[in-house]
Amino acid sequence: MLIDKMLTKDRVLICLLISSHVYFVLGSGSFNVALNKPTWQSSTYRSGVSSRAVDGNTNQRWYGNSCTETNNNKAREWLCVDLKQSFDISSMKIFNRIDGGTNNIKGFEVRLSSTGNCDEGGFISATACYKDHTSTGQSIYTIDRCNQPSVPSLSARFVFVSIKRQYLYICELQIFTGLGSFNVALNKPTWQSSTLGDSSNAVDGNTNQDWYGGSCTITNNKKAREWLCVDLKQSFDISSMKIFNMASCCTDEMKGFEIRLSFTGHCDEAGFTSATPCYQDQAQKGQYVYTIERCNQPPVLSLSARYVFVSVQRQYLHICELQIFAGP
Ligand SMILES: [Ca+2]
Ligand SMILES: [Ca+2]
């Protein structure tokens, strides 16, 4: 038991060190909000799929398997990332290909929009924010403001990068936001111990607390432990969490819920078992909305994690929304 405890402490310490390293690499409290977000492009050649632009790998050589490539060189070739919500963007970086076709990107344009889709219609209706005026292709472009008069601020959900009459290569597109905190759980992958109401309802952005609103999860069992997990896809220093409980019935079933955190593993039974307890509810009655700003289960006090589990014992678990806020 003592050895178990020590191992847990060591693991937590190591994870905190890894977490602070990641935070440092990202720099001054800003997050790459494009990382692993959905992407599309006007056409795709070979294995140059659009998701390579946001795979976290900045290798700038074609055989590094991290660059995109369109299949056409039509009037407009574009790549688009859907950030899933609007952000005030502090800067963007475009990693160009450096082993051939480096000049293709010359004269590229960035377009922004907050509505529409990552498609041809969305591209046409998006607003021009930035036009490149360099005379030769650069290895890395850093953009920290629009240079087109109609859009003074980098604020957007959909970001398009496009060129004219060339094949478009992008080895990585990083989009940083440093302002305020945002809900990093929104639309992230979720799992639960059993399913009657879909686990993705916990992160669909809808906080409706009525079962018939179609926005709440529910497990299909009430075994020893029923859990819901969200994979934030990278580690975050979390500033707070909110849990929107079911209000139309069964509010007390959340009583005594537990939050567990981890940096490694998966959203599965083994991941739940090995995750570290962070918070245990001690309220006498079920609350409609829980706000959690720090752990209450020593030795873990800071809310830092990639995987977040919420669980109850011997009850059906229902969560109408789980919001997880992170920011500088
Ligand atoms: Ca890449
Ligand atoms: Ca919901």
* Ligand 2 ion local residues (Cβ < 5 A): 201, 204, 206, 215, 321
- Per-residue pLDDT at 121 exceeds 60: yes
- Per-residue pLDDT at 19 exceeds 80: no
Q: What is the DSSP string of 175-195?
A: EEE-SS-EETTTT--EEESS-
Percent helix, percent strand, percent coil in the chain, to nearest 5: 20, 35, 50
Residue pair 76/42 in contact by the 8 Å Cβ criterion: yes
Report the pLDDT averaged over residues 222-244.
92
Which ligand sits closest to the CA of 170?
A: 1
Instruction: Summarize pLDDT for 313-327 with one digit per residue, the tens.
Output: 999 999 999 999 886
- Rounded CA-CA distance 204/186 in Å is 6
Instruction: Summarize pLDDT for 189-205 with one digit per residue, the tens.
Output: 999 999 999 999 999 99
Strands 304-312 and 226-244: antiparallel
Instruction: Summarize pLDDT for 265-309 with one digit per residue, the tens.
Output: 999 999 999 999 999 999 999 999 998 988 999 887 788 899 999
- Per-residue pLDDT at 20 exceeds 60: no
Instruction: Summarize pLDDT for 47-81 with one digit per residue, the tens.
Output: 999 999 999 999 999 999 999 999 999 999 999 99
What does DSSP assign to residue 10?
H
What does DSSP assign to residue 300?
B
**Least reliable range by pLDDT among 31-45, 87-101, 167-181, 187-201:** 167-181
pLDDT band at 102 (very low <50, low <70, confident <90, very high): very high
Query: Residue 306 Cα, ligand 1 centroid: separation in angstroms?
Result: 21
Report the pLDDT averaged over residues 126-155.
88
Q: Write down the pLDDT at residue 179.
A: 53
Query: Residue 37 Cα, ligand 2 centroid: separation in angstroms?
Result: 20
- Per-residue pLDDT at 9 exceeds 50: no
Q: For the beta carbon of residue 179, count every other beta carbon within 10 angstroms.
A: 14
Q: Look at domain 182-326 and name its CATH class.
A: mainly beta
Q: Write down the pLDDT at residue 255.
A: 96
Q: Write down the pLDDT at residue 1.
A: 35
Query: Residue 269 Cα, ligand 1 centroid: separation in angstroms?
Result: 32
Which ligand sits closest to the CA of 210?
A: 2
3-state SS class at 12: helix
- Rounded CA-CA distance 328/326 in Å is 7
Phi, psi (degrees; rounded to nearest 5) at 42: -60, -30
- Per-residue pLDDT at 28 exceeds 80: no
| CATH 2.60.120.260 domain span(s) along the chain | 31-177, 182-326
31-177: CATH topology: Jelly Rolls (2.60.120)
- Per-residue pLDDT at 21 exceeds 70: no
Burial class (CB in 10 A: 0-12, 13-18, 19+), 58: middle
Q: Mean pLDDT of all residues in the chain?
A: 87
